[in-house]
Amino acid sequence: MNGDQMHALVERLYPICRSITGDGVRRTLEIVGEHLPLTVTEVPTGTEVLDWNVPKEWNIRDAYVKDLSGRRVIDFQESNLHVVGYSVPVSGTYTLEELRPRLHTLPDQPDLVPYRTSYYVETWGFCLSQNALDALGEGPYEVLIDSTLEDGSLTVAEHVVPGRLPDEVVISCHVCHPSLANDNLAGVAVAVALALKLKEPRYTYRFLFMPGTIGAITWLARNRERVHLIAAGLTLACAGDPGSLTYKRSRRGDAEIDQAVEQVLEDRPHRVLDFSPYGYDERQFCSPGFNLPFGGLTRTPYAGYPEYHTSGDNPGFVTPEAMEDTLDVLTQVVGVLEGNRTYVNLSPYGEPQLGRRGLYGSLGGRSDTKQAQMAMLWVLNLSDGEHSLLDIARRSELPFAAVERAAHALLDAGLVREKA
């Protein structure tokens, strides 16, 4: 799946009204399921999940505010951002003064419609641009929100690429936001593309498509007995904006996933942030009871761009090139995780003679001869059963690929063995 195909998937998913539960999530997963086989789980309302309970299910069919002429001055059919998420059903007539406390705008961005939601307090409201609000008369206005909030279920989907090892690399992205292209849909599209690229990997790769916060909490509650298998994890969001890449470290700060991502990002513009218990679902996986090796990858991070959680976060804001760049980084990270091994030097007393084993000669004429020689020396010196290839690449400041090639050459020459 290339950048144009990822962007086309974003465009297709964009109009769907998603929330933390409901048919919008299911429809989103049906479309994702056209690309990847998914295991879909429905968890009933009221189910205890860690310190939470699965909420009621919310669905909406229509919503509007009509003026006296019958014109929809606020129209859910025009944009699903116009309704506060999880709004309870409403039907009535209101003056503008009565409506004002329930109308949400962005005075500093008067052309944009904000995204607002109220998952756990039963209320209702509308979102509109400040310019649209300023143009409204005193009313009265006919108001309708045709929604349901009732017992149902929360929907979580998984795609698994089996590996040679039971240990897992988990990629998690959220599917709970309505028409916001970068915030969640670009991450979904890049995750789909990454899953399609994986062929007979060493690790098992698990892709999670679920609502933010409550979805991760629900998944963790239902998988407590097997989270020890997670060797590395990433939350993926904001994957298609024009900004440079940003990595947020795991709570551990020095996990293999932290080192792998930072190694890949080294040669391109990027930022690295220390862990904080705020942001996307890495904070659930990194909660102290689990403390999993889970980082977060975005381009511009959470709330870091003016279009964040507004109607400005539309398909025109994300680009095929940015999504391809995010996918390229993830592919390289997977390559590091797949190739990382720990070796033991079988000739550790003094430097072994590489020339008579043909190792120096095999490098002759290569443009990277010096780098390849240094990689061999570093691998030999640090292959003490304690340092992985990733450790060696970080310490030597050499590309991981060069260190991995050197290790393979030394392994073929019988100078190192893989640590059991």
**pLDDT the model gives residue 370:** 83
Give the β-pairing of 153-161 and 168-174. unpaired
CA distance 71 to 77: 13
Residue in the block written with tokens 């970068």: 182
DSSP for 194-209?
HHHH--S-SSEEEEEE
Nearest alpha carbon to residue 375 among 323, 328, 416: 416
Reply yes or no on whether the pLDDT at 211 is more than 70.
yes
- Provide mean pLDDT across the span 11-22: 98
**Residues of 22-38 as b/e, b for ≥16 C-beta within 10 angstroms?**
bbbbbebbeebeebbeb
**Which residues, at least 6 apart from 309, have a Cβ–Cβ distance to it below 8 Å?**
114, 115, 180, 183, 303
- Side chain identity, residue 372: A
Give 25's pLDDT tier (boundaries 50, 70, 90): very high
**Residues of 69-97 as b/e, b for ≥16 C-beta within 10 angstroms?**
eeebbbbbeebbbbbbbbbeebeeebeee
Structure tokens at 240: 């298609």
User: Is the domain of 180 the same as that of 306?
Assistant: yes
Query: Residue 115's domain is classified under what CATH number?
Result: 3.50.30.90
User: Which percentage of the chain shows pLDDT scores above 90?
Assistant: 93
User: Is the domain of 145 the same as that of 221?
Assistant: no
User: Is the domain of 121 the same as that of 186?
Assistant: no
Q: Which of 150, 184, 202 is the last residue of a domain?
A: 150
- Provide mean pLDDT across the span 242-268: 96
Reply yes or no on whether the pLDDT at 363 is more than 70.
no
Global pTM reads 0.94
Reply yes or no on whether the pLDDT at 362 is more than 60.
no
- Provide mean pLDDT across the span 297-323: 96
Dihedral of alpha carbons 345, 351, 353, 359, sign: positive
Q: Which of 286, 316, 338 is the last residue of a domain?
A: 338
User: Is the domain of 35 the same as that of 70?
Assistant: no
Q: Which domain, by its residues, includes 72?
A: 57-150
User: Is the domain of 324 the same as that of 278?
Assistant: yes
**pLDDT the model gives residue 357:** 82
Query: Residue 394's domain is classified under what CATH number?
Result: 1.10.10.10
* Domains identified in the chain, total number: 3
Give 31's pLDDT tier (boundaries 50, 70, 90): very high
Reply yes or no on whether the pLDDT at 366 is more than 70.
no
User: Which percentage of the chain shows pLDDT scores above 70?
Assistant: 98
- Side chain identity, residue 139: G
User: Is the domain of 322 the same as that of 376?
Assistant: no
User: Is the domain of 26 the same as that of 80?
Assistant: no
Please, what is the average pLDDT of the chain? 95
Give 266's pLDDT tier (boundaries 50, 70, 90): very high
Structure tokens at 30: 């049906």
- Give Cα 355 distance to the centre of its chain: 47
C-beta separation of 228 from 262 below 8 A? no
User: Is the domain of 231 the same as that of 361?
Assistant: no
What are the two backbone dihedrals, phi and then psi, of residue 21, each rounded to the nearest 5 degrees?
Answer: -145, 175
Give 314's pLDDT tier (boundaries 50, 70, 90): very high
User: Is the domain of 128 the same as that of 264?
Assistant: no
User: Is the domain of 382 the same as that of 412?
Assistant: yes
Reply yes or no on whether the pLDDT at 180 is more than 90.
yes
Q: Which of 95, 120, 150 is the last residue of a domain?
A: 150
| 270-273: strand order across its sheet | 39-44, 153-161, 204-210, 168-174, 230-236, 294-298, 245-248, 270-273
pLDDT in tens, 348-359: 999 898 888 878
Q: From residue 420, give the alpha-carbon distance in Å to each of 48, 70, 176, 343, 417.
A: 41, 74, 43, 9, 9
**pLDDT the model gives residue 214:** 97
User: Is the domain of 293 the same as that of 202?
Assistant: yes
Q: Is 267 left (phi over 0), alpha (psi -120 to 50) or beta?
A: alpha
* Three-state secondary structure readout of 25-75: HHHHHHHHCCCCCCEEEEEECCCEECCEECCCEEEEEEEEEECCCCCEEEE
User: Is the domain of 254 the same as that of 214?
Assistant: yes
